[in-house]
Amino acid sequence: MKQMPKEYYELLEQLQTVDFALIDLTLYLDTHPDDYQAIQQFNQLAQKRKQLKKQYETSYGPLQQYGNSYSNYPWNWDDAPWPWQV
């Protein structure tokens, strides 16, 4: 188990918060495709998500791979900690 700095948990939680709204909106829109307001909210959050992802990855490394995130040198995708280790 790795104890990460306080800022790590804060930023991770910010990302998880926005992602939660995006996941919930995704399911909602799957059955309510004509809700204009919900789609507006979705797109705003998607933009915010992009910023948070960049901020998180700058400090703590790639969230995704297969080219969905950039890599540092040396390759840092497989660096610990993994999600169950923090």
Partner 1 sequence: MWIYEKKLQYPVRVSTCNPKLAKYLIEQYGGADGELAAALRYLNQRYSIPDKVIGLLTDIGTEELAHLEIIATMVYKLTKDATPEQLKEAGLGAHYANHDNALFYHNAAGVPWTASYIQAKGDPIADLYEDIAAEEKARATYQWIINMSDDPDLNDGLRFLREREIIHAQRFREAVEILKEERDRKKFF
What is the binding site for partner 1 (CB under 8 A)?
A: 1, 9, 12-13, 15-16, 19-20, 23-24, 26-28, 30-32, 61-66, 68, 77, 82-84
Q: For the CA atoms of the chain, what is the radius of gyration?
A: 15
Is 19 or 45 the residue whose CB approaches partner 1 more closely? 19
* Long-range contacts formed by 75-82: CB under 8 A, 24+ apart: 80/2, 81/2, 81/4
Is 13 or 44 the residue whose CB approaches partner 1 more closely? 13
* Least CB distance to partner 1 at residue 7 (A): 15
Spatial separation of the C-alpha atoms in residues 25 and 42, rounded to whole Å: 7
* Least CB distance to partner 1 at residue 83 (A): 5
Task: Provide the CA 32 distance to its chain's centre, in angstroms.
Answer: 24
